[in-house]
Amino acid sequence: MNNKHTNITPSKQNSLLRFDKENVWHPYTSMSEPLPSYLVDSAQGVNINLASGEQLIDGMSSWWSVLHGYNHHKLNAALQEQAAKMSHVMFGGLTHQSAITLCEKLINLTPEGLDKVFLSDSGSVSVEVAMKMALQYQHAVAEKNQTNLTKTKLLTVKNGYHGDTFAAMSVCDPVTGMHQIFEQVLMQHYFAPAPSIKFGEQWSNDETIELTALFEQHHSEIAAFIIEPIVQGTGGMRFYHPEYLRACRLLCDKYKVLLIVDEIATGFGRTGKLFACEWAEISPDIMCLGKTLTGGYITLAATLCTTHIAKTISEGAAGCFMHGPTFMGNALACAVANASIDLLFENDWQSQVLAIETTLNSLLKPLAKHERVIDARVLGSIGAIECKQTVNVAQIQKRFVELGVWIRPFGKLIYIIPPLIITTEQLTALVNAITTVLNEDDCFN
Ligand code: PMP
């Protein structure tokens, strides 16, 4: 293939990949038998350019994070302007315009009542921060009321995913979150069944019977309830009924349990609402944001909470919130986040998401009838195919690359969540590639 993308010679490519295979530990990968990695030279718009010459249409947005495409001139300019002033200063005792502007934007855009912002480095850390906030809040409440602290656990639902650090892992699905391996070190929390009524299906109040029973029995021990709003992502791309989330809000209010929504994957338009909890018209007590916050440029996350929570924690015995990451409020990350949020509105994200949804509804949804498929579902810019068999990741990945697309399935799921700037033609190429591999036996186990 004529390689117009790279100056990395074939022998250099081989030596880089050999070192990578021997020494570089990739996510969720064995070091003894690693899955192949493809060497990327550059990325532009919706295209990922491999050093070997192939140009791939990106269906993954680099794990849901890229919104406006790669190598965007406005995002690049925001980084360069900030770097020319300063890339980072410690956030203890110092502050800066990029962080302040970002926090103001987040307060204005998120649901009512979320008025205080804590910036951190990654989605998982923002969940740690949210859990710590909830526990420190309950500690301060018990202290103020001169009662014993009993609210020390969390309640969540099965099939959830909130990150890979230890506190976050303790509220991930017990099976996929590997609770058996880490049983002796993980905090023990309560798990309700996963929501089962799908988005768009008929609602029944029976759906929350077990959840309600858990609240009734254990509320005196429960500090907070944590959930991914509307979309359980890593737990199977499951889209659930907004009434479920509304019921969670009511139960949390009734039993004085804080509601934490993890919008790390769903935030900034992905589901067709700016934040997925808008589908249920609820405001949480604490919200986590990450991934798309910087348009997929640099790691940054935010945990927002109400004034009441912040005040209660701050007036407790500790007198402050006990957390402070070194790279908190990183100026480069805040500057690019500001530019990404501005672009979201300049580009009219709602029309972008609607265009993706319309195409996926007409092209991807009919794949539900394929003999290998259990379900095909679409919500906003997310399209997922649930197969009867698990995929052979190495083989399916190789085929997708041969077909000129970047799609990385897991388990029984082939899903796409492309950058919002994708064209109908590019989206059609993604769905055509999925249709092709569905007909290939060796792509499945
Ligand atoms: N929560 C949700 C819902 C996520 O999808 C993820 C990332 N897949 C995380 C938390 C963790 O974020 P990070 O990978 O940035 O630590």
pLDDT at 299: 97
Those residues whose C-beta lies under 8 Å from the C-beta of residue 332, and which sit 6 or more positions away, are 79, 82, 83, 87, 88, 298
The catalytic position among 240, 262, 273, 412 is 262
Q: Does domain 10-68+348-443 have CATH number 3.90.1150.10?
A: yes
Residue nearest to atom 9 of ligand 1 (CA): 163
- Average pLDDT value over all residues in the chain: 96
Question: Are the CB atoms for 44 and 70 separated by under 8 Å?
Answer: yes
The CATH T-level fold of domain 76-346 is: Aspartate Aminotransferase; domain 2 (3.40.640)
Domain span(s) for CATH 3.40.640.10 in the chain: 76-346
pLDDT at 4: 61
CA distance 129 to 79: 26
pLDDT at residue 1 is higher than 80: no
Determine whether the shortest distance from the Cβ of 161 to ligand 1 is under 6 A: yes
pLDDT at residue 138 is higher than 50: yes
**Cα(66) to centroid(ligand 1), Å:** 14
Domain span(s) for CATH 3.90.1150.10 in the chain: 10-68+348-443
The pTM for the full model equals: 0.97
pLDDT at residue 3 is higher than 70: no
Determine whether the shortest distance from the Cβ of 123 to ligand 1 is under 6 A: yes
pLDDT at residue 5 is higher than 70: no
**Cα(264) to centroid(ligand 1), Å:** 6
Query: What tens digit of pLDDT does each residue of 220-264 get?
Result: 999 999 999 999 999 999 999 999 999 999 999 999 999 999 999
